[in-house]
């Protein structure tokens, strides 16, 4: 019998991975937030993708089994609370995969579990939940997975199932490239409430995006990283063009009155800039703007 995977974060990507791991023969348990979600789950006792049904089990954070294999798919901002709710159950030498956008929680989890195999992952799969535990796999992408310091052979066992999984020797670079593009596109589109493509059509937005990119490059240089062959602004324009009709995930979060991932994207960059005594005023300005929008949302929700 294969070793069980526990999944913390039963959103669309967590559910997609629950199916992927089930398909490759692992027992899987989703860790759910509360009794209401568990009751909802027990009506289905599994996850549906189109006509396919995957028999997955679910439990609450205080479930009975020790956790030896853990996939973290919460939003980066929810990691600390979610992880602390299961900390007691996680084996010190557990295998952990952190599959998230942004940076910061990967290192935080490693600090909590210094003897665990903590690995990082990034995905371009697109999925959404049309109803609880009923999933639409809208875009087949790739999940890159790796460890920033050691090569763990067990990672190969995740390249089985129905998702495209690639072992990545430069997972830190992969996450950084995503973070850099997200710094360039997401806060600007969220503040100006525009589509990704508008950033290249409007000269003022384009100039701000270029300033953001130059500052990101200052920080990556100080970190000893070279993300792309050419300048970041060229890459950012390319992504904005390719996704011209899309609304960025940050704008969607704001439109749905949700907390964004800014603290693990631009916020992470600003923290590093501070450590290197670098000034990155444009990124700092947009960090403050998004934080202000989030504060206003919270205030509105309180009344």
Active site (catalytic) residues: 178
Backbone CA torsion sign across 217, 219, 222, 226? negative
Quote the least distance from Cβ 272 to ligand KPL, whole Å: 19
What track of x and - describes contact with ligand KPL for positions 117 through 156 (by CB under 6 A)?
Answer: ----------------------------------------
CB 143 within 8 A of CB 233: no
- CA distances 167 to 14, 170, 231, Å, are 19, 9, 26
Quote the least distance from Cβ 246 to ligand KPL, whole Å: 6
Stretch that binds ligand KPL, among 17-25, 42-50, 179-187, 278-286 (CB under 6 A): 179-187
Q: Is 186 in the site for ligand KPL (CB under 6 A)?
A: yes
- Residue among 174 and 248 whose Cβ is closer to ligand KPL: 248
- Residue among 42 and 238 whose Cβ is closer to ligand KPL: 238
Q: Is 263 in the site for ligand KPL (CB under 6 A)?
A: no
Stretch that binds ligand KPL, among 35-43, 67-75, 178-186, 278-286 (CB under 6 A): 178-186
Quote the least distance from Cβ 77 to ligand KPL, whole Å: 14
Quote the least distance from Cβ 185 to ligand KPL, whole Å: 4
- The β-bridge partners of 117 are 95
Q: Is 243 in the site for ligand KPL (CB under 6 A)?
A: yes
- Residue among 15 and 254 whose Cβ is closer to ligand KPL: 254
Q: Residue 203: CB partners within 8 Å, gap ≥ 6?
A: none
Stretch that binds ligand KPL, among 3-11, 42-50, 86-94, 239-247 (CB under 6 A): 239-247
Q: Is 239 in the site for ligand KPL (CB under 6 A)?
A: yes
- Residue among 22 and 196 whose Cβ is closer to ligand KPL: 196
- The β-bridge partners of 126 are 139
Site for ligand KPL in 195-234 (CB under 6 A): 196
By CB under 6 A, name the one of 185, 188, 227, 237 that touches ligand KPL.
Answer: 185
Q: Is 246 in the site for ligand KPL (CB under 6 A)?
A: yes
- Residue among 59 and 198 whose Cβ is closer to ligand KPL: 198
Query: Residues interacting with ligand KPL, by CB under 6 A?
Result: 181-182, 185-186, 196, 239, 243, 246, 248-249
């Amino acid at each position: 019998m294969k070793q069980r995977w526990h999944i913390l974060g039963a959103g669309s990507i967590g559910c997609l991975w629950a199916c992927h791991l089930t398909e490759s023969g692992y027992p899987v348990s989703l860790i759910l937030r509360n009794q209401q979600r568990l009751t909802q789950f027990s009506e289905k006792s599994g996850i549906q993708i189109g006509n396919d049904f995957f028999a997955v089990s679910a439990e609450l954070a205080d479930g009975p089994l020790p956790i030896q294999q853990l996939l973290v798919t919460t939003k980066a901002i929810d990691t600390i609370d979610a992880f602390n709710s299961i900390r007691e159950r996680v084996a010190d030498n557990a295998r952990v995969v952190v599959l998230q956008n942004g940076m910061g929680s990967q290192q935080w989890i490693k600090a909590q579990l210094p003897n665990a195999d903590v690995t990082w992952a990034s995905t371009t799969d697109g999925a959404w939940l049309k109803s609880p535990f009923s999933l639409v796999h809208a875009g087949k992408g790739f999940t890159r997975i790796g460890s920033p310091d050691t090569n763990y052979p067990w990672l190969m066992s995740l390249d089985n199932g129905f998702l495209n999984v690639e072992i990545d020797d430069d997972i830190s670079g992969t996450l950084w490239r995503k973070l850099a593009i997200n710094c360039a596109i997401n806060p600007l589109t969220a503040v100006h409430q525009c589509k990704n493509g508008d950033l290249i059509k409007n000269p003022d937005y384009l100039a701000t995006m270029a300033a953001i990119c130059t500052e990101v490059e200052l920080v990556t240089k100080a970190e000893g990283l070279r993300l792309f062959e050419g300048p970041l602004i060229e890459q950012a324009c390319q992504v904005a063009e390719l996704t011209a009709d899309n609304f960025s995930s940050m704008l969607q979060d704001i439109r749905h009155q949700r907390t964004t991932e800014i603290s693990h994207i631009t916020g992470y960059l600003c923290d590093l800039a501070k450590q290197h005594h670098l000034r990155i005023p444009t990124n700092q300005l947009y960090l403050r703007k998004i934080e202000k929008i989030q504060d206003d949302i919270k205030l509105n929700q309180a009344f």
